[in-house]
Amino acid sequence: MEKEIEEIRNLIQKAFVGAGLEGRGLKIDIKKPVKEEFGDFSAIISGDKITEGGMNFEIAITKGKKPVEKIANNIPISEVFNFEFKPPRYINFFYNRMSGNKKSEALLENLKRILKEKEKYGSSKMGHGRTVVIDYSSPNIAKSFGIGHLRSTIIGQALYNIYKFLGYKVIGDNHLGDWGTQFGKLIYQIKTKNLNINKLTIDELEKIYIEFHQLAEDNPELKDEARKWFKKLEDGDSEVKKIWKACRDLSLKEFDRIYDLLGIKIDKTFGESFYNDKMQEIFKEMKGRNLTRQSEGAWIVEFPNDDPPSLVLVKSDGTTTYFLRDLATIKHRLEEWKPHAIIYEVGVDQQLYFKQLFYTARELWPDKIFKDEKSAKGIDLRKDSRVRLVYVGHGLMRSREGKFSTRKGTTIHLEDVLNEAIEKAKEIINASETSKVITEEEKQILAKQVGIGAVKYNDLRQHFRRDVIFDWGKVINLKGNSGPYLQYVFTRCNSILGKARERLKVNEKSKLSEVEERILERLNSFQKEIEQKRFDEYPEDKERGGNTYAPNIICNYLFELSQEFNNFYDKYPILKADTKEQKEFRLALTFAVGQVIKNGLTLLGIESPERM
């Protein structure tokens, strides 16, 4: 691919000369586009000046001077590429489909690259020097890990893996809900029932939390009691804080156990309580900028034209809200990690709240945060130190009756789902030939890899914006477009390679069948599929950003690649190919397919078992 990019760069540089723009400081950025209709490669031109008078390149485009079209009109004829100008700033390049040999050479070169780079294939350095903070998972303390927490946890982890693969410095932050009025409710229950906090389980904590809400339906004054207990916690009451800490410690052990089962490890765990001593500073800043005012004893934040509606920053009794804690969180992240973007992977039902939060943060720190997308237009975000606040709202996991709710006792525990998936996977393994040659311990490991992979993939393959209706049969799907299907194709590739003694070799003169060429083309597009998951480098460019934050695109890619390989496997002999050269090539192709499936599954947080 490097050779093609260099050739395109040379063509454009020659066009600079023909257009009279040589030496004007123009820059060329060449990427694999998101959509096939935008070509095999897409070039964007940027720069400081395009005229003798020094007119800015971006201003020239807004004034309709069409400098990129002038450049496109001067690109010399190429044997390899055709091209088209895409107003106002793109030149899209397509392989000359009449040049079959050139195309085959490029595909075979990419196959060599896979054999060489292995697990690094598809990675890039596009994020070098840039930091991304991803806020994900973020369960509430004193509650069991519910099925509703699954989406944020695994989508957030997939985004984390993808950004890291693309060369970004990535920081995962698990922003635990470990502060707030809900603890006043728990403490009220523990005190009035005279419970020993050191003997309670996480299930019992959840049970007394549900019970509080049931009691409060007939006795609304209980909510005032809960607020009083939380006020004691914020004021530092030693006995209350001891109860809170015991609840927190118990919950963290529970969460770690579920994360271990899921194969999830998040870099940082800063709960809301971490920001308890940082909120007064934010409160002072808000008052200093006249961004908050008092209303009926509380401090509120209002928005232009009441859109979005106002919300409370500090309550009338002096206790803080999670809105103030979230502002303190943003400031901490800005100062501690100096990121280029902070991505919040949370439920779509929080969309209004994040609109309020982002607006306030932009007004509070205008020199550090982009005010809105329009303010970023025409700016190369890679060179700008201001941070982008990004909200990735996933659809909710719902029952057929509606949203799961811990308060109402209607949630489904995630551990139950995972254990059920593992047991179903084990039943299939026990009925297979594999069970005859592996130990019980190996069966359990394999069942975990397959079962957990099935649950993760079933969620990730659906667009993150969609609500998902929980269905036991679908959530642990082991057939069709599923995690186990991809794992099976990977193990098939491994099995073939394990039986072969020949080396893997790519013959540049290989005559490719239509199926082989199609597989090679798909392998060649792997990096393009990954790169479209990043936050937009140029926010106004909808062509590049259409599928941002969507791991389901990688799922679709891997499923289609697996189907094509199985089609190839059914049609063409690999180990019994007609010639030695043909066998070596097909083994190389098999290795490449297996490697790309493994790389893709790794990005999705799914393990690739050696056999099934």
Is 562 or 4 the better-scoring residue by pLDDT? 562
Alpha-carbon gap, residue 590 to 568, rounded angstroms: 10
Write the pLDDT tens digit of every residue in 242-251. 999 999 999 9
Instruction: State mean pLDDT over 219-229.
Output: 90
Q: Enter the tokens of residue 375.
A: 């303010």
Say which range, 126-130, 257-261, 504-508, has the weakest mean pLDDT. Answer: 504-508
Mean pLDDT of 380-395: 78
DSSP string, 503-555: PP---TT----HHHHHHHHHHHTHHHHHHTTSPPSSTT-HHHHTTTT-THHHH
Decide: helix, strand or coil at residue 320.
Answer: strand
Contacts 24+ apart (CB under 8 A), 302-310: 303/356, 303/359, 308/352, 308/355, 308/356, 308/359
pLDDT band for 52, please (50, 70, 90 cuts).
Answer: very low
Q: Residue 410: what pLDDT?
A: 61
Do the Cβ atoms of 156 and 134 come closer than 8 Å? yes
- Say whether domain 133-282+319-402 belongs to CATH 3.40.50.620: yes
Q: Which fold has domain 414-604?
A: Isoleucyl-tRNA Synthetase; Domain 1 (1.10.730)
Residue 159 has pLDDT above 50, yes or no: yes
From the CB of residue 600, how many other CB atoms can be counted at a distance below 10 Å?
25
What does the pLDDT look like over 65-92, one tens digit per residue? 677 888 888 888 776 788 888 887 789 9
- For residue 55, name the pLDDT band (cuts at 50, 70, 90): low
Instruction: Name the residue with higher pLDDT: 222 or 104.
Output: 222
- Which residue did the predictor score with more confidence, 359 or 147? 359
- Which of 139-143, 283-287, 460-464, 573-577 has the highest mean predicted lDDT (pLDDT)? 283-287
Higher pLDDT, 396 or 60: 396
Alpha-carbon gap, residue 489 to 598, rounded angstroms: 10
- Classify burial at 500, counting beta carbons within 10 Å of its beta carbon; exposed 0-12, middle 13-18, buried 19 or more: middle
Q: How many residues does the chain have?
A: 612
Tell me the mean pLDDT in the region 155-182: 93
Region 2-98: CATH code: 3.30.1360.70
Is the pLDDT score of 310 beyond 90? yes
Amino acid 542: pLDDT: 38
For every residue of 8-67, DSSP letters joined together read HHHHHHHHHHHTT-TTS--EEEEE--SSGGG-SEEEEEE-SB-STT--BHHHHHHTT--H
Res. 477 pLDDT band, cuts 50 70 90? confident
pLDDT band at 575 (very low <50, low <70, confident <90, very high): very high
- DSSP code of residue 195: -
pLDDT of residue 371: 73
> Encoding tokens for residue 72?
């496109």
**Residue 377 per-residue DSSP state:** T
What mean pLDDT do residues 364-377 have?
A: 73
Location of structure tokens 């695109």 = 553
At 410, list the tokens: 């209607």
CB 127 within 8 A of CB 189: no
* Dihedral angle sign, alpha carbons of residues 381, 382, 383, 387: positive
What is the DSSP-derived secondary structure letter of residue 256?
H
Q: Return the higher-pLDDT residue of 207 and 333.
A: 333
For the ranges 19-23, 465-469, 496-500, the lowest mean pLDDT is seen at: 19-23
The tokens describing 498, both together, are: 């394990």
Q: Which of 126-135, 378-387, 424-433, 572-581 has the lowest mean pLDDT?
A: 378-387
Average pLDDT, the chain: 86
Phi, psi of 41 (to 5 degrees): -140, 150
Distance CA 372, CA 153 (A): 27
Of the listed ranges 55-64, 192-201, 476-485, the one predicted with least confidence? 55-64
Can you give the three-state secondary structure of 115-150, one letter per residue? HHHHHHCCCCCCCCCCEEEEECCCCECCCCCEHHHH
Q: Which residue has the higher pLDDT, 600 or 61?
A: 600
Q: Which is it for strands 293-295 and 169-173: parallel, antiparallel or unpaired?
A: unpaired
Q: Which residues contact 362 (CB under 8 A, 6 or more apart)?
A: 369, 370, 371, 372, 389
CA-based diameter of the chain, in Å? 86
What dihedral do alpha carbons 587, 589, 590, 595 form, nearest 10°? Answer: 130
Q: Which two tokens stand for residue 61?
A: 């485009």
Query: Structural domain boundaries of the chain?
Result: 2-98, 133-282+319-402, 414-604
pTM of the predicted structure, to 2 decimals: 0.81
440 CB burial (10 A radius; 0-12, 13-18, 19+): exposed
Tokens 């807004």 -> residue: 62
What amino acid is encoded at 93 in this protein?
A: F
For CA atoms 180, 184, 190, 193, give the dihedral sign.
negative
When mean pLDDT is compared over 33-37, 327-331, 495-499, 530-534, the highest value belongs to 327-331
User: Is 312's pLDDT higher than 90?
Assistant: yes
Give the pLDDT band of residue 608 (cuts 50, 70, 90).
Answer: very high
Q: How confident is the model at residue 540 (pLDDT cuts 50, 70, 90)?
A: very low
Residues 571 and 536 sit within 8 Å (Cβ to Cβ)? no
* pLDDT at site 87: 82
Q: State both tokens at 556.
A: 């679709």
Q: Are 596 and 527 in contact (CB under 8 A)?
A: no
Mean pLDDT of 452-474: 85
Q: How far apart are CA 368 and CA 544, in angstroms?
A: 25
Please state the rounded mean pLDDT for residues 501-522: 80
Residue 537 — pLDDT band, cuts 50, 70, 90?
very low
Q: What is the pLDDT of residue 158?
A: 95
